[in-house]
Each structure stands twice: as C-alpha cells, then as structure tokens.
C-alpha cells in the first residue's frame, strides 16, 4: 500500500481545448474543473463526443496543448511522466514481445537493477493473474487477458495516478464484469489514484468514489455524484441501483440537452444519441 | 479464445506435420512433372523431337555430371553466388538505411522520392548498357547492377514499413517517456520488420534476376555464362541444365529467407497474406 | 484546411524537384567545364540533338512503335493465359495439387534464364520475343490471381452453396470479385515486367527494330548520347505505363 501525499493529487482547473476541423474551430472541452484527492477513484461517464478521452490524454501528458491548468504532484502537466500510467481501450501490446516483456516495457526508463525489474514484473503479473502466461505472445491471448497485461504494464511503474480510457469497452459483458471486480480489488489493495473514463453507467457507479457526468459538444461537467458505498460493492445492492438510476437520468439529461450548435459534422442522425464527430488524426489543434 | 484452449507450454508456430495428407499432396504434385519427364524421355527415344531442340534427359544428366566433375559447376556457381551475395548486401544495406531515413523523415522523403522513382522507372536491364560504357565489363559493373536491383525494392518496402508503424504503439511508448532512440530501436524498427523482410525477399529475387541478366550480357564465367556458352555451342543439354541450376538456387535462397523470416516472427499467429 | 494542404503540396513539389534540378545543373556544369570526358558523359545538348536526329532522320518512332507493339502483344497473351491458369489453380484443389508445384518450381527460374532456350527453340524473330514477354506477364498474373481466388471468403462460398448457385454463378459472383484486387495488382506487375522483358528480348534476340536495339547500337558504337537518350525514353515509357496501370486500378477498385 502506498502512502498518499497531499501533493500527489490531480488538479484540473478551467481546462478547455479546441480542434480545427475544416478551417473552423471545434470546441471539445470547455471549462473543466475537477479536483482529485490522492487515493481516490473517480470515474467519468459521458456519451461519445464529450471529450473525455481527450481530457484523459491531456492528463497523462500526451497532449500538452490546452488552455487552463492540469497540475499533478505540484507541476503543470505537459508531457508524459512515469508517475502517471495509462491503460487504453485497446490493449496496445507489442505483438513481437511476450507478455512479461510487454509489461517490462514500462520499466525501460526506470532506475532499477535488472533483478529488481524482473521481480517487479513477476509481482505485477501475479497481481493480474497472468503468471502462467508470461511467455505467451499477444496473438495467443484473449481480449480479457490482453487487457490485463495492459493493466499490469500501466501499474508497473507504481504510478501515483492511473488513467483508464474505456479499458473494458471492447470486451464481452462477462469478461468486463470480471475485470471490473479485479480492478476494484487492485485499487483496494494498492490505493493508487485512479481516473477511469467510460460510457457505461453501471461501470462508473460500481467502481468510483465519485462519478463525473459530462455533457457533450463541447465537453462540460454536468454533475458530480458521490458514491459513499463501501467496497466490495454488490451490483444488486439497493443503494447502488438507486444511485445508478440517478446517474443514468443525469446522463440522459446532459446528452439530450446539447446546445444546437451549428458545427457541421459529417454524420448526425437523430436516433436518440447523436453520432460522434470523428476527428481526423491530422486535425490541427488551435 | 477460452483459457482452456491456450496450449501450455506455448505451441511452436509452424510445427512440422508428417501426416498422411502431406505425403499424398507431395505425391500428387510430383505427378505432372514425372509425367512430363517420362514424356520427354520417351519422346526423345522415339525421335519425336530433333535432338538439337530437345536432347534426351540422359544427355542433360551427362552434361550435369561433366560440369560437376570438371569443377566448372562449383566454380561458376560460387562466382555467381558471390556476386549475388555481395551485390545484395551492398544494395540492401544502402536501401535499408535510405528507407529508414525516408520513412522517419518527411523531409528526406520529399527530397529523395521523385529522383528515386525516376531511377526506378528504368528497368535494371536498361541500365546495363549505360553502366557498361561507364564501368566496363568487370566485376564493378556486375556488382553495381545487382546492388541497384536489390536497392529499389528494399527502399520502398522499408520506407513503407516504417511509415506504417501503429501510432497507438508509439503513444504507449511515449507515455513511458521513451527517448527518440528508444522509440526507433524498440518500437519502430521491430514493427517494421515484416515489411523489411518483404523488401529482402523482393530485393534478393531482383538481384538474382539481375545477376543472370548481367552474366548473359557481359560475363566470362558464372551460371549465366553457362547459359550463353551452351547456346553458342548449341548444346541444349547444357542450357537446360543451367536453367535447372539457376531455378534451384533461386528457390533455395528464397526458402532460406522465408525460414529466417518465420523464425524471427514466431509471434505471428495470423496467416500471412 | 485546403490551404494547408496546398501549402504542403507546394513544399513537397519544391523539395522534390531540388535534387533532379541540381543533378542536371551539375551535369551541365561538369560537361561544359571539361571536368568529365565527353565520351563518358556527353553534354545535355548532345543527347537532345541525338534525340532530334533520331526522330527526324533515324527510326526512333518505328523503333518505339515496334517495342510497344511487342510489349502489348506479349502482355495481352501472357495476362490472359495467366488469368485463366491462376483462376483454375485457385478454384480447383485438384488442379492446384497437380500443377501447383510445377508452376511454383518453374517460376523460381530467373526470367532471363529462359532466353537461350527460347532462342534455340523459336529463333530470334518476333515469335520468340513475344513468347518471352508473354512468360514475363504470365507469372505475376497467374500468381496474384491464384492468391486472389484463394482469398475468396469461405463464408460467402457457403452462402452461395446454400443458395444453390451454379458453378458459373459462383465464379462470377464470388470468386471474380474477391480476386479482383489481387488480379489488378498482378496485372500492374505484369505491365512492369513485360516492359522489362521487351527490352530484354530486344537485347538478346536483336533481330528487327526496337528501342532495346537502339540502346545496344549506341553501346556498340560507343555513342553515349544515344544510350542516354534510349534509357531516358525507356524510363519515360515505363513511367507512362505505370501511370496508366495506377489510373486503371484506381477506377476498377473504386470500392476499396
């Protein structure tokens, strides 16, 4: 268990960001204010297009171009750091490396001896239950196992902050439920600050101490819910179900309530949830 | 894929199979060549073709044995082999470096690609007379042509492979604060290896073709020269034998390269196209 | 956004012409300052002059026509046969088992190694040249068609069996469209290889007009300007053929 120091928290102050699409600025995030205490588990839930993934990338440091302040461990975040780990929606494992080598990738720049690194890799593989598969290649793994490997890799540097971008979105329901439980138990044991982004309300409420509901276009925080329920949580728990319904309601409100902005998206249909605008990777940031 | 299905220990990709099906497949495949061979032997025995056009297989075999006994086969094969290997190493080596540079840097690509494409438009064969006038007909000419033949596909495939490296994997590496040299060494180059190997194979095939071409045109020894000699002397059997040898060596080289590729990429589980 | 794209294109163009322009300038300077033997590297004007001479007095047009005609004939024959054979290999497991190994074995032989054989069987005339070019076109088309036909998705084949499609319908509706991208690649390659083979044929079976003959004549007479001219035209035709192939491929595979 790690010691939480007060300056290891995350501060997001008045953060905004715009992309450029076809010459016009496309606001993606607007005035995000969020304060995360060390050791907290915060989930962000919102429909596609509310900028939650963009926010996560900015917090981890892959995108340093934004207005406002993101402060972690007392410093403004503008580039990646080993004190911040990230798990993406795709496992993003290196196909030519075994499971253990993939996890060890994270220690490439860590100031440890080879023996220490090996110990750490073994420990983290045990943590996610993949010790028996340390010599398997990603091509031989199931989706759930690959994502577990990615989680081990995200934790290997013992970061203060672990960011998870819809980590279970690509998995089937059963695997997803199981991995959510595993993530919860990892968090309970290690007490790493976690910020998880998802579009699944059940997941958000099951995992988080606080649930942040975002509204899309541009991404804004619509509501923050407290989840004062003890862990391990039961999905059938009355209080949990009630809270979940509240969050779902808030989410629906936030999503339908989108301002009728005249931003021309290539696809926009009215089937209850607007289709997301897919930003091209070469869209220039303003 | 359920955990129960995962083989433990991890099964080796490309495990050899000695099944009955494999044998029957080989048998059927040999049927046509065997039939042709039989037809050839019988045809020449009954004088269906004039002997200058198609000598009997026994004659081809005799000349094969002769060439081998006189040491010519080995020395010519060695010379051709040496030319191909040296030329290929030079051409592929330079091609690899240039391909990496072009793949990594848009600027380099912008400057080099048009000129490169222009040179690539002229078939290797077209360059031979030009280079003969410039370099004479010595070893330099042959090595240059072979190197150039290997160079072109190497550059194309390498640049392509480097450019195709998944940006997602690069992001992961960046999140671990990889320096540029780490990115290159640990992510970009390994990810580009399949394309680089494709470049090797095409380069080798082109180098081999170029070797035959240049030996046909401007050589006094080598397997290509064997062809020329046979033709000039109207020794069809020698020509046929030389063709067989050239085919066999070409196949052997490609086979070794494929094996090496499979070994280096044993992490691949999807079938390669 | 489009302005940024234009700027990018202009930058690319600007950079792309730098090296060729520099080389031409170097060529001009080196020849005029007497830095190189003019027999090894004639001045640019000499090449242009040779071009003009060949066009007006020489037989440049006829040579070019002859080469192109052979190229087309061999390409057409080889591609058609290759298409048929490749399809047969891809569709019928029996034919594949029977003829596959022989085909794969024969195609290992470097293309030019066939020249002496063809010469001895068919002489040095048109027939042998076209035969050689046809072989050059045959191999990539057959190979790619075979791979394309093999890539027909088994799910679609199952569906067609359930729908009781006749073999001819299956061919037209499943095998052919599934193989089309590979076939197009194969034909593209065949175009390149057949041009290569045309020149090769003209080198080795040097009977009759042709661009290759022109280049060889230049080499024999040690007239570098002629050789350079020939090589330049060679590249130009190769480039044009490549362009045509890319354009055709783009049109045929619009849905990709």
Query: Is omega for the bond preceding A232 within 30 degrees of 0, making it cis?
Result: yes
Contact C70, C125 (CB under 8 A): no
Q: How far is B63 from chain A (nearest CA, A)?
A: 49
> Rounded distance, CA B201 to CA B204, Å?
5
Backbone dihedral angles phi then psi of residue A136, each to the nearest 5 degrees: -80, 155
Which residues in chain C touch residue A21, judged by CB atoms under 8 angstroms apart?
1
Question: Does residue B37 have a pLDDT over 70?
Answer: yes
The CA-to-CA distance between both ends of chain C, in Å, stands at 25
pLDDT for position A136:
93
Mean pLDDT over B54-72 rounds to 83
| B55-264: CATH number | 1.10.3720.10
CB contact under 8 A, B209 and C40: no
Backbone dihedral angles phi then psi of residue B94, each to the nearest 5 degrees: -60, -40
CA neighbor of B243 nearest in space, from B262, B230, B257: B230
Residue C12 lies in a domain: no
Burial class (CB in 10 A: 0-12, 13-18, 19+), B179: exposed
Which position has the token pair 């892959």? A62
* Partner B contacted by A90 (CB < 8 A): yes
Q: Which two tokens stand for residue A72?
A: 């972690």
Q: How far is C8 from chain A (nearest CA, A)?
A: 13
- How many DSSP H helices and E strands does chain C contain? 11, 0
Q: Which two tokens stand for residue C107?
A: 């195609």
Query: Is omega for the bond preceding B9 within 30 degrees of 0, making it cis?
Result: yes
Question: Which of B126, B247, B273 minimises the CB distance to C108?
Answer: B247
pLDDT for position A72:
92
For C205-228, give one letter per residue: b (16+ CB within 10 A) or e: beeebbbbbbbbbbbeeebbbbbb
* Partner B contacted by A68 (CB < 8 A): no
The average confidence (pLDDT) of chain C is 86
Residue C154 lies in a domain: yes
Contact B74, B66 (CB under 8 A): no
Mean pLDDT over C76-104 rounds to 90
CB contact under 8 A, B174 and A62: yes
Contact C182, C147 (CB under 8 A): yes
Question: Which of B25, B132, B239 minimises the CB distance to C116?
Answer: B239
Question: Which of B167, B191, B270 minimises the CB distance to A139?
Answer: B270
Residue of B nearest to A88 (CA): B172
CB contact under 8 A, A92 and B171: yes
CA neighbor of A223 nearest in space, from A10, A68, A58, A34: A34
Which position has the token pair 């045929």? C252
What residue spans define the domains of chain A? 6-83+160-256, 95-158
> Rounded distance, CA A132 to CA A112, Å?
24
Stated as kind and residue range, the H or E segment containing A31 is strand A24-36
Which position has the token pair 């329920």? A229
Return the sign of the alpha-carbon dihedral for residues B4, A187, A143, B260: negative
> Rounded distance, CA C216 to CA C63, Å?
12
> Rounded distance, CA A210 to CA A40, Å?
8
Q: How far is A128 from chain B (nearest CA, A)?
A: 14
DSSP symbol at A285:
B
Query: pLDDT tens across C207-235, in order?
Result: 788 888 888 888 888 888 888 888 888 88
Q: In Å, how far from its chain's centre is CA C217?
A: 23
Backbone dihedral angles phi then psi of residue C202, each to the nearest 5 degrees: -70, -30
CB contact under 8 A, B267 and A97: yes
For domain A6-83+160-256, the question of CATH label 3.40.50.300 is answered with: yes
Question: Which of B3, B9, B267 minimises the CB distance to A95?
Answer: B267
Strand A41-46, strand A193-198: pairing? parallel
Strand ranges in B65-175 using DSSP code E only, listed in sequence order: none
Question: Which of C99, C110, C242 minimises the CB distance to B250?
Answer: C110
Query: pLDDT tens across B112-159, in order?
Result: 998 898 888 888 888 888 888 888 888 899 999 999 999 999 999 999
Mean pLDDT over B230-248 rounds to 84
ipTM of model:
0.79
* Partner B contacted by A132 (CB < 8 A): yes
Query: Is omega for the bond preceding A218 within 30 degrees of 0, making it cis?
Result: yes
Question: Does residue B219 have a pLDDT over 90?
Answer: no
Q: Which two tokens stand for residue C1?
A: 């956004």
> Rounded distance, CA C195 to CA C183, Å?
18
> Rounded distance, CA A231 to CA A254, Å?
28
CB contact under 8 A, B250 and C19: no
3-state SS, one letter per residue, for C92-154: CHHHHHHHHHHHHHHCCCCHHHHHHHHHHHHCCCHHHHHHHHHHHHHHHHHHHHHHHHHCCCH
> Rounded distance, CA C187 to CA C185, Å?
5
* Partner B contacted by A95 (CB < 8 A): yes
Which residues in chain C touch residue B111, judged by CB atoms under 8 angstroms apart?
15-16, 18-19
> Rounded distance, CA A199 to CA C143, Å?
48
Question: Which of B6, B177, B270 minimises the CB distance to A109?
Answer: B177
Q: Which two tokens stand for residue A273?
A: 């949830």
DSSP symbol at A35:
E
Q: What percent of chain B has pLDDT over 90?
A: 29
Which position has the token pair 């040296």? B86
CB contact under 8 A, C98 and B31: yes
CB contact under 8 A, B176 and A157: yes
Which residues in chain A touch residue C8, judged by CB atoms under 8 angstroms apart?
none
Q: Which two tokens stand for residue A4?
A: 């939480």
Residue C37 lies in a domain: no
Question: Which of B133, B231, B273 minimises the CB distance to C120?
Answer: B231
> Rounded distance, CA C35 to CA A159, Å?
66
Contact B91, B150 (CB under 8 A): yes
pLDDT for position B236:
82
Which residues in chain A touch residue B184, judged by CB atoms under 8 angstroms apart?
none
* Partner A contacted by C164 (CB < 8 A): no
What residue spans define the domains of chain B? 55-264
How does DSSP assign A133-174, residue by residue?
A: GTT--GGGS-HHHHHHHHHHHHHTT--SEEEEESTTTTS-HH
Q: How far is C180 from chain A (nearest CA, A)?
A: 29
Question: Does residue B203 have a pLDDT over 60?
Answer: yes
CB contact under 8 A, B269 and A108: no
CB contact under 8 A, B169 and A92: yes
- All residues at 6 or more sequence positions from B216 whose CB lies less than 8 Å from its CB, including other chains: B224, B225, B227, B228, C112, C115, C116, C204
CB contact under 8 A, A96 and B267: yes
pLDDT for position B74:
85
pLDDT for position B18:
52
Return the sign of the alpha-carbon dihedral for residues B32, B34, B36, B39: negative
| CATH assignment of the domain containing C142 | 1.10.3720.10
Contact C164, C232 (CB under 8 A): no
Chains near B (3 or more Cβ pairs under 8 Å): A, C
Q: Which of residues 130-149 of C touch A (CB under 8 A)?
A: none
Contact A279, A40 (CB under 8 A): no
Q: Which two tokens stand for residue A136?
A: 């398997």
The CA-to-CA distance between both ends of chain A, in Å, stands at 42
CB contact under 8 A, B227 and C113: yes
User: What does each of the 286 residues of chain A score in pLDDT, given as a tens digit?
Assistant: 455 555 668 999 999 998 887 778 888 999 999 999 999 999 999 887 778 889 999 999 998 889 999 999 888 898 899 899 999 989 999 988 999 999 998 898 888 999 999 999 999 999 899 999 999 999 999 999 999 999 999 999 889 899 999 999 889 999 999 999 999 999 998 889 999 999 899 999 999 999 999 988 888 999 999 999 988 898 899 999 999 999 999 998 888 755 444 343 344 444 444 444 443 333 433 3
CA neighbor of A232 nearest in space, from A282, A286, A183: A183
Q: pLDDT: is B21 or C149 the higher one?
A: C149
pLDDT for position A135:
93
Residue of B nearest to C150 (CA): B273
Contact A186, A154 (CB under 8 A): no
Range of the domain at C121: 50-252
> Rounded distance, CA C4 to CA C14, Å?
15
* Partner A contacted by C33 (CB < 8 A): no
Residue B228 pLDDT grade (very low, low, confident, very high; cuts 50, 70, 90): confident
* Partner B contacted by A269 (CB < 8 A): no
> Rounded distance, CA B156 to CA B136, Å?
29
Chains near A (3 or more Cβ pairs under 8 Å): B, C
Q: Which two tokens stand for residue A261?
A: 């902005």
pLDDT for position A265:
39
Which residues in chain A touch residue B8, judged by CB atoms under 8 angstroms apart?
132
> Rounded distance, CA C91 to CA C170, Å?
10
Question: Which of C99, C200, C236 minimises the CB distance to B125?
Answer: C200
Backbone dihedral angles phi then psi of residue B264, each to the nearest 5 degrees: -70, -20
Q: What pairs with residue A27 in β-bridges?
A: A18
Which position has the token pair 């080196």? C30
Which residues in chain B touch residue C196, judged by CB atoms under 8 angstroms apart?
123-125
Question: Which of A62, A105, A140 minimises the CB distance to B269?
Answer: A140
Per DSSP, helices labelled H in B46-71 are 57-69
pLDDT for position B10:
40
pLDDT for position C170:
82
The CA–CA distances, whole Å, from A94 to A134, B106, B190, B232 equal 14, 25, 9, 57
Q: What is the pTM of this model?
A: 0.78
pLDDT for position C1:
53
Contact B84, B146 (CB under 8 A): yes
Chains near C (3 or more Cβ pairs under 8 Å): A, B
Count of other CB atoms within 10 angstroms of residue A209: 19
């Amino acid at each position: 268990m790690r010691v939480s120091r007060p300056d290891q928290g995350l501060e997001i102050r008045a953060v905004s960001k715009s992309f450029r699409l076809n010459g016009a600025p496309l606001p993606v995030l607007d005035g995000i204010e969020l304060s995360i205490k060390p050791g907290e588990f915060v989930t962000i839930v919102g429909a596609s297009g509310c900028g939650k993934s963009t926010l996560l990338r900015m917090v981890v440091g892959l995108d340093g171009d934004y207005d406002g302040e993101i402060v972690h461990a007392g410093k403004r975040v503008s580039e990646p750091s080993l004190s911040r780990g990230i798990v993406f929606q795709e496992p993003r494992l290196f196909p030519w490396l075994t499971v253990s080598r993939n996890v060890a990738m994270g220690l490439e720049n860590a100031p440890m001896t080879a023996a220490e690194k090996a110990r750490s890799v073994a420990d983290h593989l045990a943590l996610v239950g993949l010790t028996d598969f340390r010599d398997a290649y990603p091509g031989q793994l199931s989706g759930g196992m690959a994502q577990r490997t990615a989680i081990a890799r995200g934790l290997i540097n013992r970061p203060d902050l672990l960011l998870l971008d819809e980590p279970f979105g690509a998995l089937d329901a059963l695997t997803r439920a199981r991995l959510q439980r595993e993530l919860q138990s990892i968090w309970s044991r290690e007490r790493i600050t976690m910020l998880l982004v998802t579009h699944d309300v059940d997941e958000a409420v099951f995992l988080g101490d606080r649930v942040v509901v975002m509204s899309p276009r541009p991404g804004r925080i619509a509501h923050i819910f407290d989840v004062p329920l003890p862990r391990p949580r039961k999905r059938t728990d009355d209080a949990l179900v009630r809270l979940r319904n509240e969050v779902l309601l808030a989410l629906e409100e936030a999503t339908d309530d989108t301002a009728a902005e005249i931003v021309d998206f290539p696809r926009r249909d009215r089937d209850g949830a607007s289709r997301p605008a897919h930003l091209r990777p070469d869209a220039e940031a303003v | 894929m359920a955990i129960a299905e995962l083989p433990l220990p991890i099964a080796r990709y490309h495990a050899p199979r000695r099944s009955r099906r494999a044998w029957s497949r080989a048998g059927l495949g040999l049927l046509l060549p065997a039939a042709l061979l039989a037809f050839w032997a019988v045809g020449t025995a009954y004088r269906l073709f004039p002997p200058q056009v198609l000598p009997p297989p026994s004659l081809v075999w005799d000349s094969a044995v002769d060439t081998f006994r006189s040491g010519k086969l080995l020395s010519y094969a060695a010379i051709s082999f040496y030319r191909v290997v040296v030329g290929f190493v030079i051409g592929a080596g330079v091609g690899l470096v240039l391909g990496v540079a072009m793949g990594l840097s848009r600027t380099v690509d912008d400057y080099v690609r048009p000129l490169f494409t222009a040179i690539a438009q002229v078939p290797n064969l077209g360059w031979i007379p030009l280079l003969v006038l410039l370099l004479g007909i010595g070893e330099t000419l042959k090595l240059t042509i072979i190197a150039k033949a290997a160079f072109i596909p190497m550059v194309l495939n390498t640049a392509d492979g480097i450019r195709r490296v998944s940006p997602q994997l690069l992001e992961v590496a960046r999140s671990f604060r990889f320096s540029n040299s780490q990115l290159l060494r640990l992510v970009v180059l390994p990810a580009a290896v399949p394309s680089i190997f494709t470049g090797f194979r095409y380069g080798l095939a082109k180098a081999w073709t170029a070797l035959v071409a240049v030996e046909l045109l401007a050589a006094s020894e080598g397997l290509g020269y064997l062809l020329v000699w046979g033709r000039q002397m109207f020794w069809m059997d020698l020509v046929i034998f030389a063709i067989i040898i050239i085919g066999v060596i070409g196949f052997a080289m490609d086979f070794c390269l494929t094996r090496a590729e499979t070994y280096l990429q044993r992490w691949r589980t999807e079938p390669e196209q | 956004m489009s302005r940024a794209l234009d700027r990018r294109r202009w930058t690319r163009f600007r950079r792309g012409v730098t090296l060729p322009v520099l080389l031409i300038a170097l060529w001009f300077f080196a020849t005029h300052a007497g830095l190189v033997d003019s027999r090894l590297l004639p001045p640019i004007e000499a090449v242009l002059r040779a071009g003009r001479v060949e066009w007006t007095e020489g037989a440049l047009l006829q040579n070019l026509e002859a080469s192109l005609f052979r190229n087309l004939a061999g390409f057409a024959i080889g591609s058609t046969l290759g298409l048929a054979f490749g399809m047969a290999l891809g569709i019928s497991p029996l034919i594949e088992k029977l003829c596959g190994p022989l085909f794969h074995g024969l195609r290992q032989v470097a293309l030019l190694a066939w020249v002496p054989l063809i010469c001895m069987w068919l002489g040095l005339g048109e027939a042998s040249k076209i035969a050689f070019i046809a072989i050059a076109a045959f191999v990539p088309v057959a190979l790619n068609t075979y791979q394309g036909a093999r890539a027909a998705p088994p799910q679609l084949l199952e569906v067609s069996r359930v729908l009781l499609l006749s073999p001819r319908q299956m061919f037209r509706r499943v095998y052919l469209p599934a193989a089309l991208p590979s076939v197009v690649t194969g034909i593209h390659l065949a175009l390149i290889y057949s041009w290569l083979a045309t020149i090769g044929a003209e080198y080795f079976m040097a009977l009759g007009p042709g661009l290759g003959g022109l280049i060889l004549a230049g080499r024999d007479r040690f007239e570098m300007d002629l050789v350079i001219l020939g090589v330049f035209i060679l590249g130009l035709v190769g480039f044009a053929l490549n362009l045509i192939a890319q354009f055709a491929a783009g049109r045929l595979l619009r849905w990709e």
